[in-house]
Amino acid sequence: MFIIGELINGMYANIGSAIKERNKSEIQKCALAQLESGADALDVNCGPASRQPLVDLPWLVEAIQEITDKPLCLDSSKPAVIAEGLKAAKNKTIINSTTADPEKLDTIIPLAKQYHSKLIGITISAKGIPQNKDQRLELAATIVATCSEKEFPIEDLYLDPIVLPVNVAQAQMKDILESIHEFRIISDPAPKTIVGLSNVSQGTNVRSLINRTFLTMAIAYGLDSAILDPKDKELMDALITAELILNKNIYCDSYLEAYRKK
Amino acid sequence: MATQLVLEKWPGLISTVTLGAKKEEGGSRAATVKIGGENTLPILFNEGSIPNKPAIAFEVWDVPPEDWPEELAGAYGKVLSDPFAWADKCVNEYKAQTLCVRMQGAHPDFGDKGAQEAAKFVSALLKKVNVPLVITGCGDDAKDNLILPACSEAAKGERCLIGSAVQDNYKTLVASVLADGHSIIAESPIDINIAKQLNILISDMGLGLERIVINPTIGALGYGLEYAYSIMERARLAALSGDKTLASPFICFAGQEAWRAKEAKAVPEQGIIWEVITATSLIQSGADLLVMRHPAAAEKTAKYIDALFMNK
Beta strands in B62-202 (DSSP E): 98-102, 133-136, 161-165, 183-187
Please give the helix or strand (H or E) that residue B258 lies within, else none.
helix B254-258
**Amino acid in position A148:** S
| Contact state of A253 with B242 under an 8 Å Cβ cutoff | no
Residues of A in contact with B246 (CB under 8 A): 250
**What's the CA angle centered on B187, arms B184 and B191, to 5 degrees?**
145
Interface with chain A: mutation pick from B193, B245, B246, B248, highest number of A CBs within 10 Å: B245
pLDDT digits (tens, 9 = 90+) for A19-75: 999 999 999 999 999 999 999 999 999 998 888 999 999 999 999 999 999 999 999
**Amino acid in position B102:** R
| Residue in B with minimal Cα distance to A254 | B197
| Contact state of A250 with B197 under an 8 Å Cβ cutoff | no
A128 forms beta bridges with A125
Per domain, the residue ranges of chain A are 2-260
B33: nearest Cα among B15, B54, B48: B54
pTM of the model: 0.88
| Residue in A with minimal Cα distance to B246 | A250
Residues of A in contact with B234 (CB under 8 A): 250
Alpha helices in chain A, H assignment, sequence order: 13-21, 24-36, 53-65, 79-88, 102-114, 133-149, 173-183, 207-220, 233-245, 255-260
Would you call A76 helix, strand, or coil by DSSP?
coil
Whether the ω angle into residue B164 lies within 30 degrees of 0, i.e. cis, is yes
Per domain, the residue ranges of chain B are 45-309
Residues of A in contact with B200 (CB under 8 A): 252, 254, 257-258, 261
Residues of A in contact with B237 (CB under 8 A): none
The pLDDT value given to residue B1: 67
Residues 6+ apart with CB under 8 A from A205: none
Taking domain A2-260, whether its CATH number is 3.20.20.480 is answered by no
Instruction: Tell me the helix, strand and coil percentages in chain B, rounded to 5.
Output: 45, 15, 40
| Phi, then psi, of A101 in degrees rounded to 5 | -75, 135
| Residue in B with minimal Cα distance to A247 | B238
Would you call B170 helix, strand, or coil by DSSP?
coil
Which CATH number is associated with domain B45-309? Answer: 3.20.20.20
Provide, rounded to the nearest whole percent, the portion of chain B with pLDDT above 90: 96
Q: Which of B196, B203, B234 sits opposite A252 (nearest CB)?
A: B196
Low-confidence ranges of chain A (pLDDT < 70): 262
| Contact state of B196 with A261 under an 8 Å Cβ cutoff | no
Taking the CA atoms of chain B, what radius of gyration do you get in angstroms?
Answer: 19
pLDDT digits (tens, 9 = 90+) for B257-306: 999 999 999 999 999 999 999 999 999 999 999 999 999 999 999 999 99
HSE-up (13 A, CA, CB side) for residue A130: 24
The pLDDT value given to residue B298: 98
The pLDDT value given to residue A148: 96
Report yes or no: A219 and A243 within 8 Å, Cβ to Cβ. yes
Whole-number Å distance between alpha carbons of A183 and A171: 20
| Contact state of A250 with B242 under an 8 Å Cβ cutoff | no
Chain mean position to CA A231: 16
Report yes or no: A85 and A43 within 8 Å, Cβ to Cβ. no
Whole-number Å distance between alpha carbons of A186 and B131: 60
A19: nearest Cα among A66, A41, A51: A51
Whole-number Å distance between alpha carbons of A215 and A4: 13
| Contact state of B238 with A261 under an 8 Å Cβ cutoff | no
Report yes or no: B15 and B247 within 8 Å, Cβ to Cβ. yes
The pLDDT value given to residue B196: 97
The pLDDT value given to residue A103: 95
A122 forms beta bridges with A160
Report yes or no: B52 and B191 within 8 Å, Cβ to Cβ. no
Whole-number Å distance between alpha carbons of A235 and A7: 15
Whole-number Å distance between alpha carbons of B138 and B144: 6
pLDDT digits (tens, 9 = 90+) for B40-92: 999 999 999 999 999 999 999 999 999 999 999 999 999 999 999 999 999 99
Interface of A with B (CB under 8 A): 249-254, 257-258, 261-262
Residue B266 class from Cβ within 10 Å (0-12 exposed, 13-18 middle, 19+ buried)?
exposed
Whole-number Å distance between alpha carbons of B190 and B152: 26
User: String of b and e for B21-52 (b: at least 16 CB within 10 Å)?
Assistant: bbeeeebebeebbbbbbbbbbbeeeebbebeb
Tell me the DSSP string of B24-83: GGTS-BS--EEEE--SSSTT-TTTS---S--EEEEEEESS--SS--HHHHHHHGGGGG-H
The pLDDT value given to residue A168: 94
Q: What DSSP designation does B2 have? A: P
Q: Which of A249, A253, A254 sits opposite B243 (nearest CB)?
A: A249
Min distance B169 CA to chain A CA atoms (Å) = 16
Residues of A in contact with B201 (CB under 8 A): 254
Report yes or no: A25 and A62 within 8 Å, Cβ to Cβ. no
Pairing state between β B16-19 and B33-36? antiparallel
Tell me the DSSP string of A81-135: HHHHHHHH--S-EEEEEE-S-HHHHHHHHHHHHHTT-EEEEES-BTTBS--SHHH
Whole-number Å distance between alpha carbons of A94 and A120: 7
pLDDT digits (tens, 9 = 90+) for B145-188: 999 999 999 999 999 999 999 999 999 999 999 999 999 999 99
Min distance B247 CA to chain A CA atoms (Å) = 11
Whole-number Å distance between alpha carbons of B302 and B94: 11
| Residue in A with minimal Cα distance to B236 | A250
| Contact state of B197 with A253 under an 8 Å Cβ cutoff | yes
